[in-house]
Amino acid sequence: MCGHVVGAGFDVVAFDIDPGALRRAAAAGVKPADSARECARDADALITMLPAPPQVQDVLLGSDGVIAAMPSGSVLLEMSTSSTAVGRLLVEAAARRDVAVLDAPVAGQSVGAQAGTLAIYVGGEPEAFERVQPLLAAMGDPDRIFHMGQHGSGYTVKLLLNLLWFIHSVASAEVLSVGVLAGVELERLHAALVSSPANSNFLQRDLRPVLEAGDYDEAFPMRLVTKDLGLAIDLAREVGLPVELSALVEQIHRRARARYGDQAGEISPVRLYEELAGIELRIGPAS
């Protein structure tokens, strides 16, 4: 994502606690910094992409918090998958420095980040959204950059789309495993479902690496999957709605994490059903 912003003609200063990540950013044309605060001091816009709400709060509001170093009139583009509660704290702190805040999490997996085709879901003031359009367009697909409304709405949409995707993952694993055990050839079953009213993007596209190569997508590990699902369940609790199916799907993913480890791929729940059924869900590559 840094590389795409550089490629769009922006001067970018970047920091990461992982020296390897910082070296890769430098190779893409980014000026390395010694700290996050150094990135913020003279920036018109600061972009953060962090693992979870605790890191967002620590980096931006902690003892060496970055918001305190941002210039008046700048924009914070917070692109993590985080919580609306932490988002509210950011908005309050930024307002005291005349800094605009946008929550702008992304979807599209690592391939979308590499290709510059991410979908981006933005919450915050329309004026700030318009100001950062060139940055968003550098990292994402211009046709899939959505202003969702007030502060926190970007975070909300990202949590909900992740939740629905993980529900599709479990549902697809169950359906395909039952069908194969019942004697239907997997490739025919998959093709029939893709051509049916029950089709989904997950079934048609995202599941194919598992079906074709046993690739459960380690680019997004289970430790982050369960974090996102936990945040989605917390959101449902905050609005006071019972979500029995979502809670069960969260627990299935936590079981997969316990079974295969923190770094296991995000589609690892499929492995649970493969083990239960005593099969591997594999077909030939798409023609």
**pLDDT tens profile 133-158:** 999 999 999 999 999 999 999 999 99
Pairing verdict, β 45-48 and 75-78: parallel
pLDDT at 236: 97
SS3 of residue 50 by DSSP: coil
Condensed to tens digits (0 to 9), the pLDDT of residues 266-287 reads: 999 999 999 999 999 999 776 5
158 is catalytic: yes
Nearest in space to 100 (alpha carbons), one of 56, 55, 147, 151: 151
What is the DSSP code string of 81-142?
---HHHHHHHHHHHHTTT-EEEE--EESHHHHHHHT-EEEEEES-HHHHHHTHHHHHHHEEE
Condensed to tens digits (0 to 9), the pLDDT of residues 13-59 reads: 999 999 999 999 999 999 999 999 999 999 999 999 999 999 999 99
Q: In the chain, pLDDT over 70 holds for what percent of residues?
A: 99
pLDDT at 115: 87
pTM of this prediction? 0.93
Rounded to the nearest 5°, which phi and psi values hold at 91? -60, -45
CA distance 264 to 258: 10
CA atoms within 13 A on the CB side of 261: 5
Range 99-119 average pLDDT: 92
| Domains delineated in the chain | 2-151 (3.40.50.720), 157-277 (1.10.1040.10)
Burial of 106 (0-12, 13-18, 19+ CB in 10 A): buried
One-letter amino acid identity for 220?
Answer: F
The catalytic position among 5, 48, 138, 158 is 158
Contact 100, 93 (CB under 8 A): no
